[in-house]
Amino acid sequence: MTRSISQDNAVSSSRMTRALIYAVLLVFVFYYLLPLYVMVANSFKPLDEIRGGDLMALPKVWTLAPWASAWSSAQIGVEPTGLKPYFINSILIVVPAVFLSTVFGALNGYVLTKWRFKGDGIVFGMMLLSCFIPFQIVLIPAAKVLGFLGLAGTLKGLILIHFSAGIGFSTLFFRNYYAAFPTELIKAAQIDGASFFQIFRRILLPSSAPIIVVTVIWQFTNQWNDFLFGASFSGFGTTPMTVALNNLVNSSTGVKEYNVHFAGAILAALPTLLVYIVAGKYFVRGLMAGAVKG
C-alpha cells in the first residue's frame, strides 16, 4: 500500500538534478543553522575569548559558567537572580493559558459546527477578527479590564490575556477540523443518548489528536515568545522570560556579558524547541490532515 503510494508520488529525476537539489538544500540548512551555531558556540566561551574577536570560532576553553550565570545569578534589571524565576513565571502563565485556550477553542469549534445556532457565523467572524487584529490596539482596553477585575500585574491577569488572545486561532483551528467531522456521528451519539459533553469527550476529542497538537504548538510558541503583553501587563514578581531576557541583555551597568546573553537566549528558546521536537511530526501531520482523502 505505502509502496504503491510512494511510487505514484515519485518524480523520476536524473542524478544531476538530484545532486543540485541536495546542494541547494544543504546551503539552506547551513544558512538556517548558522545563527544557532554562533549562539551555541559563544555561550560556551569565556568573555575575553569573545572580545578577542572571532564569533565564528569554536571555544578554545569550554566553560559552563555563562549558562550557570544566565540561569541563576545574572543581573536582571536590578536583581541578580538569573533567568530562573522568570522561566518559572513563564511556565506558570503559558501552561494554563495554552490549556484553557485549547479546551475552549475545541468547545467553540464543536458548538460552531455541530450545534449551529442563529448568528453563529457572526460569532465566528468576530472570533476570526481577533486573529488578525494587531494586539497593540487592545492594550489600553485590556489594561482597563485587568484593572477592573483586580488582576493587573498578576499571573492570573496574564493567563487571562493570553487565553483571550489565543482563543481566536484555536477556535479557527478546531472549527475547520470539526467542520470535516461527520455530523452523522453526532446524530448517532444523540440517539445513543449521549449528552452534549459526553459527545464532546467520548466521540469528538478522541479523534482530535492532530488538531490538538497543532493548537498546542501554535499557542505555546506564541504565548511563550510573547513580549508585548509581558512587557505591558506583568508586575515585579510576574515578569515572563522574554521580558527578563530583554532586561538581561539591556542591563546598562557593567560590561556586556555576551556569552551570558547567548546562553540566556538559548534558555529562552529551549521550551519551544522542545515542543517542536516532541510533537513536530504530529504538527505536520495535523496540518496535512484532511488534505489527503483516505
Decide: is 184 part of the binding site for another protein (CB under 8 A): yes
Could you give the 3-state DSSP secondary structure of residue 267? Answer: helix
How far is Cα 178 from Cα 167, in angstroms, rounded to an integer? 16
Using CB under 8 A, which of 65, 139, 185, 249 touches another protein? 185
How far is Cα 172 from Cα 72, in angstroms, rounded to an integer? 40
Determine the interface stretch with another protein among 41-49, 90-98, 132-140, 196-204 (rule: CB under 8 A): 196-204
Decide: is 53 part of the binding site for another protein (CB under 8 A): no
Footprint on residues 201-260 left by another protein (CB under 8 A): 202-203, 206-207
**Whose Cβ is closer to another protein: residue 144's or residue 187's?**
187
Using CB under 8 A, which of 95, 139, 194, 289 touches another protein? 194
From the CB of residue 107, how many other CB atoms can be counted at a distance below 10 Å? Answer: 18
Please check whether residue 110 is in contact with residue 194, taking contact to mean a CB–CB distance below 8 angstroms: no
Q: Is 224 left (phi over 0), alpha (psi -120 to 50) or beta?
A: alpha
Determine the interface stretch with another protein among 9-17, 72-80, 187-195, 225-233 (rule: CB under 8 A): 187-195
Amino acid in position 179: A
Task: Count the site residues for another protein by CB under 8 A.
Answer: 16
Could you give phi then psi for residue 153, rounded to 5 degrees? 75, 5
**Shortest distance, position 106 Cβ to another protein, whole Å:** 15
Determine the interface stretch with another protein among 19-27, 57-65, 200-208, 259-267 (rule: CB under 8 A): 200-208
Using CB under 8 A, which of 18, 51, 144, 187 touches another protein? 187
Determine the interface stretch with another protein among 48-56, 138-146, 182-190, 225-233 (rule: CB under 8 A): 182-190
Please check whether residue 260 is in contact with residue 248, taking contact to mean a CB–CB distance below 8 angstroms: yes
Could you give the 3-state DSSP secondary structure of residue 199? Answer: helix
**Shortest distance, position 22 Cβ to another protein, whole Å:** 37
Decide: is 119 part of the binding site for another protein (CB under 8 A): no
> Which one, of 203, 237, 93, 103, lies nearest residue 156 by Cα?
93
**Shortest distance, position 138 Cβ to another protein, whole Å:** 35
Please check whether residue 161 is in contact with residue 233, taking contact to mean a CB–CB distance below 8 angstroms: yes
First to last CA, the chain: 12
Decide: is 192 part of the binding site for another protein (CB under 8 A): yes
Instruction: List residues near another protein by CB under 8 A.
Output: 182, 184-185, 187-194, 198, 202-203, 206-207
